[in-house]
Amino acid sequence: MAGRAFMRALSKPYYVRETMIQMDSIGVGSLVIIILTGGFTGGILALQTSDTLKTFGATGVTGTLVMTSLVREMGPVLASLMIAGRVGSAIAAELGSMVVSEQVDAMRALGTDPIKKLVWPRLFALMIMTPALTLVADIVGAIGGWIVASSLMNVASSVYISSAKDALTYNDIIGGLIKPLVFGFIIAIVSCRAGLRTSGGTVGVGRSTTQAVVLSDILILAADFFLGKIILAFS
């Protein structure tokens, strides 16, 4: 399905409006949950490590710890898991309902390709918006870590910002964007496949929704491991 979606992406019609609607629904619609996830994750990272860092007198590296953890792992993974739960389930439920109500069959009868009209806009939107939302989560997480570090750990703002900036390398930034790109691809393909394979009426829609979220989460965590190995090999 992924191969057919990419192969047919360059042929007319392009369904630009549908793609923009999906990007708006995924990006703007998920913004609040991504901001909350990123902010609290950054704050928790700073809070949970405060005692250990104080023991070694190394509270000045709080910014380094927060930024490396967020950009390399926590930001991409947690943002993608949140997107899988919110967007993946919605895609599976929407497409599943269309299959059950025979809208997809009617689409085929009218000569419209369901893969191009239904799968490609969602696939493209997720591959674009997942890295963008991950970037938002990283920025908000850094701010959350700064608030906790400066208010509870008495770390000077200049020290936190300096250590956070010095911690990141180009490989970290590139890796932090490649991961959510792959995760977005996984969420789109798994959710669309689950939705289009729905059977059994309304009960089947619920089953497909559950399968989409669970399988997406498992594949995201598995892909994170292998991508981490590859990125470390090139760093």
168 assigned to some structural domain: yes
235 assigned to some structural domain: no
Predicted pLDDT at 156 = 86
96 assigned to some structural domain: yes
How many domains does the structure of the chain reveal? 1
pTM to 2 decimal places: 0.92
172 assigned to some structural domain: yes
Predicted pLDDT at 98 = 93
Predicted pLDDT at 99 = 93
99 assigned to some structural domain: yes
Q: What is the DSSP letter of 113?
A: -
Pull the structure tokens for residue 160. Answer: 């936190």
Q: Which positions of the chain have pLDDT values less than 70?
A: none
Q: Say which residues have a Cβ less than 8 Å from residue 21's Cβ, sequence separation at least 6.
A: 121
Pull the structure tokens for residue 70. Answer: 């967020």
Segments forming the whole domain that contains residue 219: 2-7+16-230
39 assigned to some structural domain: yes
Give the span between the Cα atoms of 164 and 145, in whole angstroms: 10
pLDDT digits (tens, 9 = 90+) for 119-146: 999 999 999 999 999 999 999 999 999 9
Predicted pLDDT at 146 = 92
Predicted pLDDT at 154 = 83
